[in-house]
């Protein structure tokens, strides 16, 4: 049984979906064994509801150092699911090929510094893009730059707002995130 660590900063609907998929077999032979948040958030409550070990490690310059101290050595995959802290280059190096992230755009478009949350969807609308979507990628020391594992697309409609786009992209995330995790863990 493979062990997944999920990092969260927010409401954790992707976390919920990942937990469901480990239970229903869409992600096979794996479990979410630990959830870590960098701030108080509903993601921690979701872990608690599923009786999954969870910790709050305050965000800041020592986050990765403190995280490293509690990560079990048998961790197979670290999943950033709406996680807002930057992972240090040292940490990326140590867990290379074992950290993945989901980003709410079609990378390499609309990635990098400042491109998170509604900023991304606003930028997509400002650029009059015809499509948007989500990307699951490996985490490296360059923000949103690691190798792409899976992408899913949706059309941008004329009357879309950042909110409606966010909703549609979330649905794409629920579809591709478990598939990407299955792919990385089980080939
Ligand atoms: C997702 O849109 C993800 O792409 C972004 O943060 C959001 C997390 O949503 N990085 P949730 O906390 O899983 O609901």
> Which of these, 59, 71, 50, lies nearest to 9 by C-alpha position?
59
Ligand 1 centroid to 15 CA: how many Å? 9
Active site residues: 103
Cβ–Cβ under 8 Å, residues 135 and 143? no
pTM score of the predicted model: 0.96
Residue of the nearest CA to atom 5 in ligand 1? 82
Q: What confidence tens digit (pLDDT) does each residue in 6-32 have?
A: 999 999 999 999 999 999 999 999 999
User: Residue 97: its pLDDT value, please?
Assistant: 94
Residue of the nearest CA to atom 3 in ligand 1? 82
Please state, for a pLDDT cut of 90, what percent of the chain lies above it: 93
Q: What confidence tens digit (pLDDT) does each residue in 117-141 have?
A: 999 999 999 999 999 999 999 999 8
Strands (E) in the chain, as ranges, are 2-8, 30-37, 54-56, 75-80, 99-103, 131-138, 148-155
Ligand 1 centroid to 65 CA: how many Å? 24
Give the distance from CA 182 to its chain's centroid. 14
Three-class DSSP category at 177:
helix
Q: What mean pLDDT is predicted for residues 87-109?
A: 95
Ligand 1 in reach of 14 Cβ (< 6 A) = yes
CA distance 52 to 66: 19
Ligand 1 in reach of 137 Cβ (< 6 A) = no
Q: What confidence tens digit (pLDDT) does each residue in 127-180 have?
A: 999 999 999 999 998 877 899 999 999 999 999 999 999 999 999 999 999 999
Ligand 1 in reach of 11 Cβ (< 6 A) = yes
Q: Which residues contact 168 (CB under 8 A, 6 or more apart)?
A: 132, 154, 160
């Amino acid at each position: 049984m493979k062990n997944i660590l999920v990092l969260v900063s927010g409401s954790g609907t992707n976390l919920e979906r990942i937990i469901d998929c480990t239970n229903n077999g869409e992600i096979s032979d794996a479990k979410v064994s630990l959830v870590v948040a960098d701030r108080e958030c509903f993601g921690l409550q979701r872990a608690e509801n599923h009786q999954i070990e969870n910790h709050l490690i305050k965000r800041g310059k020592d986050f990765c150092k403190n995280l490293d101290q509690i990560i079990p050595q048998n961790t197979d995959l670290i999943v950033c699911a709406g996680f807002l802290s930057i992972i240090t280059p040292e940490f990326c190096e140590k867990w290379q090929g074992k950290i993945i992230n989901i980003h709410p755009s079609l990378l390499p478009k609309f990635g990098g510094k400042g491109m998170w949350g509604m900023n991304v969807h606003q930028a997509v609308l400002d650029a009059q893009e015809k499509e948007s979507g989500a990307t699951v990628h490996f985490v490296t020391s360059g923000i949103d730059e690691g190798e792409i594992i899976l992408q899913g697309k949706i059309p941008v409609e004329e009357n879309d707002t950042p909110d409606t786009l966010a909703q549609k992209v979330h649905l794409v995330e629920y579809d591709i995130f478990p598939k990407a995790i299955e792919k990385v863990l089980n080939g």
